[in-house]
Structure 1
C-alpha cells in the first residue's frame, strides 16, 4: 500500500502543468519511463551481484543515482520527456561502451547494444543532437580501443575486433543518419507542399468568388437599364443564384479546412442575404456539427435559394409579412433532411410556381445528390423536404 502511494506521488506530484494539458501527460510518461528504467537496472544489479560481476553492478548503481538525482533536481520544475530520454540514452551509451572493456558482459549483448546505439540516439534526439551523441559514443569506443592497445584492464574483445566495431559503429551511424535525414527531408517537403497547396486552393476560391461578384455586378448594372419589371426579375433571380454559389467559395476561402463547409455558417449567411430583399421573416435552423463537401453544399445552397425565393414571390400577398423556415438536420450517420417551408397560400395544382424554372432547378439539383429524394407538400403552406446522403469526406 505504501509502495503504491509512493509510486503515485513519484509519477504525478510536483509537475508544474495543468492536469488537462498535453505537457502534463508527457511529464507523467517521463516519470513512468524513469521508474521503469530504475527497476530494470535494479534487477540487473541483483543479477550481476549474484554472478560476481561487482564492477558492473557498481556502474549500474551509478546510473541509477544519476537518473534519480536528475529527477529530484527537476521535479519541482517541469519534467520533460526529452530530458528523461537524454539521461536514459546517456546511461545506456555509457554502459554499452564500458561493456566492451569490463569483464562480466556477454559478448553477444555487448555487440548488440553497441550496434543498436545509433538507432536509439537518432530516434530520441533527431539529427543535430544525434550526430553529437554518435561522435561521443564513437570517441568512447576509441578510448576502449586505446586501453586495449596499451593493455590497460582486461577487455573482453581483442584489439582487432574493437577496430572493426569502431568502423562498424561509424558506418551504422552514417546509415541511420542518412535514412533519418531522408525521412526528415521528406516530411519537410511534404509539409511545404501541403502549405503551397493550401495557399493555392485559398487563392483559387478567392478568385472564383471575385469573378462571380464581377458577374453579379455586371448583371445588376444591366438590370438597371431594363424598365420592364418582368424581365428585370430574371436578372435579379440569377444574381441570387450566383450569390449562393459565391458564398460557398467565400466560406472555403476563410475556412481552415478546404474539404468541407460549415453548413450552419453558410446557411446563416445565405439567410441574411435573402432577408435583405424581402419583408418576409426567414428563420434558419441547422445543427452546428454538420459539414458537407463543396458539391453537396452548392446543391443545398441553390435549393434553399430557389425555395425561399419562390416562397417570397408566391406564398404571401404584398401586404403580408409572412414567415419561411429553413431547416437542415442529420437523421443518421451520413443521412440528412433539408426542409424549406412557408405558411402561405399553398401550391395550386397548376401554377407558375409548380412549373417554373425554380422548381425545375430544385428537381435537377436533387438528382445530383446521392440517393436524393424530393417531396413537395401543400398543407397550410408549401413544404419542400429533401432527403439525401453524404459520406464523411465526400465532395
Structure 2
C-alpha cells in the first residue's frame, strides 16, 4: 500500500514537471501566440492521462490552469484577453474530460479483472467438485461391485448367481467408462474425441469380456468424430452390451471368431453417426429370454441418445447397427463435418493402440 502511494506521488510530481516544461517551452518559442501553448498543453494532458491515470492528470490540470493564467496577459491570474480566456477554459475542459475518461477506463478494467478472477475461482471450484463427484462415484461403484460379487458367491440359485455376475460386470464397465470420460473431460466441456475413448474401452473388453476363447476384436473408428460427454458415455455402455451379447450368444461354446466394431458418420445422413458391431458367430437364437432382455436393455440405452438399433444376419455375419443424431453444435466444429471421416484409420486390433 505504501509503495503504491509513493508511486502515485512520484508520478504526480513528474507529470507537473512535464507540464511546466511544455508550457514554458511553448511560451518562450511563441511569446506572442498562445495557440501553440494551448495545443501542446492539451497534448501533454493526453500523454499523462494515458500513462499515469486519473490522479496525476487531475493535479496536472489544476496546476497547468494556474500556470497558464499567470503567464497569459492580465492582472495576476485574471486573463484580460477574451480569446485567451476561452482558450484557457477549453484547455481546462479538455484536461477534465481526459481525467474522467481514464478514471472510468481504470474502473471498468478493475471490474473486469475482478469478474475474471471470480470466474477463475468458480471454474476451480467446479473442477474440485467434479473431481470429488467422480471420486465418490468410483467408490460407490466399487462398493456395489463388491456387494454383487459377495451376493453371487452366496447365492444358491444358478440363475441368481448368473444375474449377479452379469450385474457386477456391467458395473465394472460403467466405472471404466466414467473414469475414462472424467480424464478426457477435464479440458473440454462440450465434446470429446470418440476414437481413443472407444479404442481404450475395446482394449478393456478384449482383456475381460472377450478373453474367453479366441475372439478377435478389431475397431474402425473415425478419427475426427467428437461427441458430447453424455452421448459418449451411453455409447460406451451400448458398445459394452453389444460385445457382451456377442460373447454370450454368438460364441456360446467359447469358439474363436472375429468381431468388428466401427463408428463413422452416416453415409447418407450427415446429422447422424452409426455404430456397427459385426461378428461371424452362430447368429440369433429365437425365443431366448436372456437374448430378449439384452435387446430390451439396448433399446432403452439407445433411446437415451435418440438412437435406433437394428439387427440383421447377412451371409453368415450378424450385424447390429445403432444410428443416433450428432448435435449441431458438435457437428459444426471445424474439421468435423460429413467429410471428416475420410481420414479414418484402417481397422486395428483392440489390443493395439492407434498410430494416427
Q: Which TM-score tier does this pair reach, normalised by the shorter chain?
A: 0.5 to 0.7
Which of 359, 372, 375 is the matching residue for 2:295? 359
Q: Secondary structure at the match of 1:329?
A: strand
Equivalent residues of 1:216, 1:243 under 8 A apart = yes
CA distance 1:317–1:374, shift in 2 (3 Å): closer
Does 1:338 find its partner at 2:275? yes
Structure 1 match to 2:198: 267
Find the aligned partners of 1:110 and 1:156 in 2 and give their Cα distance. 15
Query: Counterpart in 2 of 1:145?
Result: 65
Distance 1:133 1:234, change over 3 A: same
Map of 1:248 onto structure 2: 177
Report what 1:323 is aligned to. Answer: 258
Distance 2:286 2:253 in 1: 22
Contact 1:282–1:324 under 8 Å retained in 2: yes
Query: d(CA) in 2 for partners of 1:226 and 1:248?
Result: 28
What TM-score does the superposition give when structure 2 sets the normalisation length? 0.67
Q: Identify the range of structure 1 (325-334 vs 361-370) with the bigger mean alpha-carbon deviation.
A: 325-334
Would the aligned equivalents of 1:247 and 1:266 in 2 still touch at CA under 8 Å?
no
Q: 1:104 to 1:334 in 2, by over 3 A?
A: farther
Unpaired stretches in structure 2, ≥5 consecutive residues:
1-14, 28-33, 74-82, 331-356
> 1:273 offset after TM fit, Å?
2.6
- For residues 251 and 94 of structure 2, what CA distance do their matches in structure 1 show? 91
For the residue of structure 1 that corresponds to 2:35, the secondary structure is coil
**What is the match of residue 375 of structure 1?**
310
Residue 217 (str. 1) matches residue 146 (str. 2)? yes
Alignment RMSD (CA, Å): 3.7
Instruction: Evaluate the alpha carbon distance shift between residue 113 and residue 204 of structure 1 in structure 2; reply closer, same or farther with a 3 A threshold.
Output: farther
The whole-number CA distance in structure 1 between the counterparts of 2:236 and 2:281 is: 22
Supply the distance in 1 between the matched residues of 2:90 and 2:216 (Cα, whole angstroms). Answer: 89
- Count of residue pairs brought into register by the alignment: 287
- Please give the residue correspondences for 1:298-313 in structure 2 after superposition, counting only pairs within 5 Å: 298-313=233-248
Please report the TM-score for the alignment, with normalisation by the length of structure 1. 0.61
Structure 1 unaligned regions, length at least 5? 1-89, 122-129
Q: Relative contact order (C-alpha < 8 Å, sep 6+): which is higher? A: 2
